[in-house]
Each structure stands twice: as C-alpha cells, then as structure tokens.
Amino acid sequence: MSDFSAVDLICAKRDGQALGPREIAWFIDGYTAGRIPDEQASALLMAVYFQAMAPDELAAWTKAMIDSGERLDLSSLDRPTVDKHSTGGVGDKVSLVLAPLMAACGAAVPQLSGRGLGHTGGTLDKLEAIAGWRAALSNTEIVSQLAGVGAVICAAGAGLAPADRRIYALRDVTGTVPSIPLIASSIMSKKIAEGTAALVLDVKVGSGAFMKTQPEARRLAEAMVTLGEAHGVRTAALLTGMDTVLGLTAGGALEVRESVETLAGGGPADLVAVTLALAREMVESAGLDADPAEVLASGAAMDVWRAMIAAQGGDPDAELPRASVVETVDAPADGVLGRLDALAVGVAAWRLGAGRARKEDPVSATAGVVCRAAEGDAVRAGEPLLELHTDDESLLPGALAALEGGFEVVAEAGPPRPLILERVTAGGRA
C-alpha cells in the first residue's frame, strides 16, 4: 500500500478537505496494525468530529473498516438472513424478544452484539444473567446455531472489523464518540461484516439515547441506510422514542424476566409495540410471509428462545438471580406520572451496578430499576413508584441522586409520547 503522511492527512481533514479512498485505507490499515500511533489517530478523529465526512469519504472509511477483518459467510443457510441493530437506550431489551420472534417467522437472525457502556445496557450483559449462558461462539458455532435454531445472539468475534475495536476504544477516551460519520461507520462496518442480507435499524431519539433530537437521529439513520444499501444489505431504519424507559425495567436479570413475560404473551404495551414494528420491517425486508403479532401470540417465539438459550449453555428454566437489597422511591403526591426520564433511570441503574464506566468493569446481573408505573399511569402519594435493586447498599445514595428531578407527578395526563417517530429507507423517509 502506498505511503502517505499521517500529518498531511490530519492537516487536510482539519482544514475541511475530503480524504481520498487510498488515503483512508492507508490510515485505517496503519492504525489497526499499530504503525500509526494513538496521538495521530486521535487528532484525525477529532478533525473528523469537527469537519464530518462527505458521503464518498464515509463510504471509503466504512469499507476500510470492513476490509480490516473477515466477513462471516452465511451463504449455506436456507432461510433469509435479517438482523436488527439498536443505537441503544434505557430498558431496551427488544433484541431478546425480536431475535427468537423473527426466527419463528422463518428468518435466520445473526445478532452479533456488544456490551453496554455508560447508562445504556448491553444485550450480552443482560443475557449473562442466565446461569451458564455463553456469549463467545466460534464462526462455525454461529452458522450451525442459525441453521438449527434460527437465531443467535452472541459477541462479535475479534475477527470482525478489528479496526472498529481499536478506533472505538480511542474515541471513548478522546471525546469523539458522538460524531455521526464515526458512529455510522462503526455500526455499519460490524453489521456488514456479519454477513446479514437485510438489516433494520432502531435509531433511538431522546434523553436516554445518543441522539437527543429527531433531525440528528434522521441524519444518522440516513447515513447508515446509505452505507448498508451501498454494500448490498437491504437496510431500513425506524426512529423510535427514548425519552422514557422502554418497558418497566432497566438492568440485566430484571430485563430478561420482562422479556420472557413478553415472549409468553404479556409484557408492557410499549415494548410489544416497538418489537412488533421492527418485526414487521424485518419480515418485509427479508421477503417473508408472516404476521409477527400472530407468531408472538402462538408461543412459537418462546420455543425458539428456549432453544436459543439452551444452545448457548444456558438453562431457560433456571431461576434468575435477585438483588439482596430493594429500596423503593415513593410517589410524592396523588395524580398521574407525567414524566419519567430515561436518562435519570438509566444513570440510576448504572450506579446501582447494572452498567460499567470502563469497558473492563464487571456488571451486576441483579442490579437495576423497576418502574412500578409508566408515564400516564395514575399514582397515589406514598405508594412505590420505583424499586432500586442492588447487592451493594452503599450504591443507593448515588442512584437516588440520579433520580432527583427525573420524574414528575401531575394532576392530569398529557398526550402519550409517540413511540414510532419516523421510517427511513433508501427511497426516503415516511
């Protein structure tokens, strides 16, 4: 590969010029291989943060990240492959219900997932609340589970987009995570390398999400849809609300329990609605003929869930662990819960032990928050509004502090917040 100068690339990007595909490939390859040092990569990332990237540049950056590793070959499967990716939210346990549901609809779902960082929980951390369940699978195990069970949720192996692993770790410590081109290339390089033929993106919008406003979320969705389609992956996105908690729980075992209730035909209405909206998109992009609501009601998704957990060493019948300390926060007045802020609940769950501050930190399977009421529910003064679950009583004050100002009891309910805000496809938005 021809040699460029890292300083020249940094200066060009700093001054708002677009980098060419060969320069980008040289940089990504050099940084992944350790030839370009962190300080130069940090400077370039910060320049991208301020100057963004032109569409061609973003496409070349993403391609270079994909080319840094292997691509999973799912061509031996006889079902259509389709996956979902969420940009992350509080109480977002949709994957746990959706992956088995889509397999029960006839798809193969290769859900290669990550761990949580900060106030949003990671899917793998949640599933690890199930005794014996194993996140690390080989590529052969992934393909064989997809052929047999139809769904797999596991860790993305080290061979997929290794450039992202290095760049994401550097972004995390250099203030360059919240950049639309860097987020889009990070997510899409992994999803394209995973080998799925179709992808539905759940781009969360609101206080508990990366993207706080709908225009920002739309720009991220459009960038990701364009990247997916350019690589032959049928890609669509839904923008969904994340100003309040999704469902009634945030934290590992608590969220697994709620997901199992949903697979059994119960579960909170908002969780069911978002799951079914995404499932309908996935059915359409995979070209399947199935009604996800009927399949969920039939119990077939629960059968796949049980098989999926057992295939990865977990016992679907095992009791989920429970926290030794449960503290309640009571409603301050009679009325209606007018606002329950996703970020406040997410930070409280994190401080109780459900999340991590650094990627090497452990998470507690039992910690988290249970909402005894959702926005719009009637509440009575002195009755529990929230339960804080932890195994370490000393963590309670920090969690209680996070919840200060995070909820409001009002006299009359306002209009419910819309859950599904917008749909973005290659053909435009609706």
* Cβ closest to ligand URA, residue 202 vs residue 387: 202
> Looking at 180-188, 222-230, 259-267, 331-339, which segment touches ligand URA (CB under 6 A)?
180-188
What is the 8-class DSSP label of residue 105? Answer: T
- The answer to whether 249 and 342 are in contact (CB under 8 A) is no
Residues 361-390 that bind ligand URA (CB under 6 A): none
Q: Which of 124, 187, 205, 296 binds ligand URA (CB under 6 A)?
A: 187
Stretch that binds ligand URA, among 183-191, 310-318, 323-331, 358-366 (CB under 6 A): 183-191
Give the DSSP per-residue string, 367-427. Answer: -EEEESS-TT-EE-TTSEEEEEEES-GGGHHHHHHHHTTSEEEESS--PPPPSEEEEEETT
Nearer to ligand URA, 177 or 374 (CB): 177
Annotated catalytic residue 359: no
- Of the candidates 50, 38, 53, the one whose C-alpha atom is nearest the C-alpha of residue 6 is 38
Q: Give the residue carrying structure tokens 């033929």.
A: 197
| Candidates 84, 171, 306, 351; catalytic one | 171
By CB under 6 A, name the one of 183, 239, 302, 329 that touches ligand URA: 183
- What token pair was written down for 162? 């290794």
To ligand URA, the closest distance from the beta carbon of 184 in angstroms equals 8
Task: List the catalytic residue out of 85, 126, 351, 389.
Answer: 85
Asked if residue 369 lies in contact with residue 119, where contact means CB atoms within 8 angstroms, the answer is: no
317 catalytic? Reply is no
Q: Does 209 bind ligand URA (CB under 6 A)?
A: no
Near ligand URA in 150-169, by CB under 6 A:
168
For 421: left if phi > 0, alpha if psi spans -120 to 50, otherwise beta; the answer is alpha
Residue 171 CB, nearest approach to ligand URA (Å)? 7
Token pair listed for 98: 């959706």
Active site residue 164: yes
Of 104-112, 179-187, 391-399, 408-416: span binding ligand URA (CB under 6 A): 179-187
CB 120 → ligand URA: shortest distance, Å?
9
Task: Match 């697979």 to its residue by tokens.
Answer: 263
Cα of first residue to Cα of last residue in the chain, in angstroms, is 43
Question: What is d(CA 306, CA 285) in angstroms, rounded to the nearest whole number?
Answer: 26
CB of 362 to ligand URA, least distance (A): 21
- What residues are annotated to the active site? 85, 164, 171, 186, 190
Residues that bind ligand URA (CB under 6 A): 114, 168, 177, 182-183, 186-187
